[in-house]
Structure 1
Amino acid sequence: MKHVRLWQGGLLLALIGFWYVMTEPGLIPPMMFDNDRQAAFFFGQPLHVGERIWNWFVVDADIYRHLGVTLVETLLAFGIGAVLGLGGGLWLALAPLASAVLDPYIKAMNSMPRIILAPIFSVWFGLGIASKVALGVTLVFFIVFFNVYQGVKEVSPVVLANARMLGANQRQLLRHVYLPSATSWVFSSLHTSVGLAFVGAVVGEYLGSSQGVGYLILQAEGTFDINTVMAGIIVLTAFALVLDALVGRIEKRLMKWQPKVGETEKL
């Protein structure tokens, strides 16, 4: 594991080094650009990006309010979308008639490019947090929903038959058979959903907001400040990774009952 971390850190340093060499004026002759400053204009410079992040968090300390707004929007969208997706997936997986009736409507809503709903939500819910959360919920819901639905459908008929033979009622089947079967599917969907919740929050902030990291990036784009844009992207990516790591920790705690790959092979 230590070697993997070293390789990961080395790859990151190599990418930053390549970025620095390609965008620092005077280090290499211009290739794709008319002069050696165009690369820095289009891609930013790592030193200036790092300086912008340092000012945000330490010198000016003015990003915390914006970051807090974006994180609140993300967490609300993530939590509400995950709960609705879990409940909807369980319900339709265990209700064949309702599933058959609603199937074309669910597929139609899932095939819709949900980013286009952002302006509609802005009209319905205003330019505050609610419109960003609503957009994030639509992005998270369907991923969790389809994973839970498939997870319940994948329950072994033999396990169900044995549980019914032992006298398990529907509630006990739900708690001891269906939910454990769907748990791994749920957590695999949550890892993807964290990033999409961020997407919903930031896109909503792009369309209309006076605060949030997406708002900072939009303001920087308006003045062609590519370094600030790249800094905002890096900050958002870092916090998305932090949330994904938290989901992974929760998954490990809740999935202790599941045998590891090596243990399964030994068995």
Structure 2
Amino acid sequence: MKIGKFKLTVLRLLVLGLAIGVWWALTDPGFLPPIYFDDPGRAAFFFGKPFRVFEIIINWFVSGEIFSHLGITLLETALGFIVGSVLGLGIGLWLALAPTASAIFDPYIKGFNSMPRVVLAPIFAVWFGLGVWSKVALGVTLVFFVVFFNVYQGVREVSPTVIANARMLGASKRHLLRHIYLPSAMSWVFASLHNAVGLAFVGAVVGEYLGSAHGVGYLILQAEGTFDINTVFAGILVLTAFALLLDMAVGLVEQRLLLWQPKTSETEPV
């Protein structure tokens, strides 16, 4: 059974309201008996109070305090996302279309991919300083491999029969790349880009944790130092909201570029 867009929106808002209600109930001293804590008020110390969190977010935007920090974090995220995606797309296409080069670099790429790249953050801080570029570098390493492997696999999944037929019709390498390889890989690319959005934010915030004087990650780190859990959750919610906005932007670009794909309504059952 299909669900209308308005009804779907209402249901999503109800789920959000239910989640906030459960959060409030678990952290309100007078609502529930002390099951897990001797003092019911201690729950709020560990999990914050939802309305206090929203109050902090509103004050951030009304006072303008958040804008400079948010601008830095979004710049780091966007640069890491764009540079990592472009490199992943370019190198993925190259190795997918060059079997010899792919065979040579395969163990090195797998080795770098298996490396816990978050530990590179201190090295990048030494190389690029504590400014924007150390965070961008970390974001690039997180985004690159997600895009690379999807592009690489997407190109290799192209049917050899389709390629052979195109060559019989006189298609050049440029025509094959433009009309067969890239369209075939695009669905894989955008699937990876939706995942890469969150990783780009991870790169920016982890970098800010290790050394920064600006950014939402810096605000969260300062709040953790004073055990201000409400501000920590406020920073997390702000980052989550803007990650969703960036993911929506990727979705809009996907809709414009993949017009040839049959549309599947999100209201249809899977």
User: Which TM-score applies when normalising by structure 1?
Assistant: 0.96
Q: Could you tell me how far 1:261 is from its partner in structure 2?
A: 4.8
Question: Out of 5, 10, 15, which is 1:11 matched to?
Answer: 15
Q: Could you tell me how far 1:191 is from its partner in structure 2?
A: 0.2
Per-residue Cα deviation, 1:139-190 (whole angstroms, up to 9, x for no partner)? 0000000000000001111110111011111111111110000000000000
**Identity within the alignment, %:** 69
Aligned counterpart, 1:114: 117
Question: Out of 137, 150, 153, which is 1:134 matched to?
Answer: 137
Whole-angstrom CA distance in 2 between matches of 1:159 and 1:9: 46
Q: Does 1:191 align with 2:191?
A: no
SS at match of 1:121: helix
RMSD: 0.9
Whole-angstrom CA distance in 2 between matches of 1:176 and 1:256: 14
Per-residue Cα deviation, 1:81-115 (whole angstroms, up to 9, x for no partner)? 00000000000000000000100000000000100
Aligned counterpart, 2:33: 29
Superposition pairs for residues 17-56 of structure 1, below 5 Å? 17-56=21-60
The one-letter amino acid paired with 2:33 is: P
Whole-angstrom CA distance in 2 between matches of 1:134 and 1:116: 12
Aligned counterpart, 2:217: 214
Runs of 4+ that moved beyond 6 A: none
Q: Does 1:170 align with 2:173?
A: yes
Question: Out of 93, 98, 116, which is 1:95 matched to?
Answer: 98
Whole-angstrom CA distance in 2 between matches of 1:136 and 1:34: 43
The one-letter amino acid paired with 2:169 is: L
- Which structure 2 segments of 5+ residues have no match? 266-270
Q: Could you tell me how far 1:3 is from its partner in structure 2?
A: 2.0
Whole-angstrom CA distance in 1 between matches of 2:249 and 2:149: 22
- Which structure 1 segments of 5+ residues have no match? 263-267
SS at match of 1:209: coil
The one-letter amino acid paired with 2:215 is: G
User: Which TM-score applies when normalising by structure 2?
Assistant: 0.95
Distance change in 2, residues 1:66/1:261 (3 Å):
closer
Aligned counterpart, 1:265: none
Whole-angstrom CA distance in 2 between matches of 1:219 and 1:259: 48
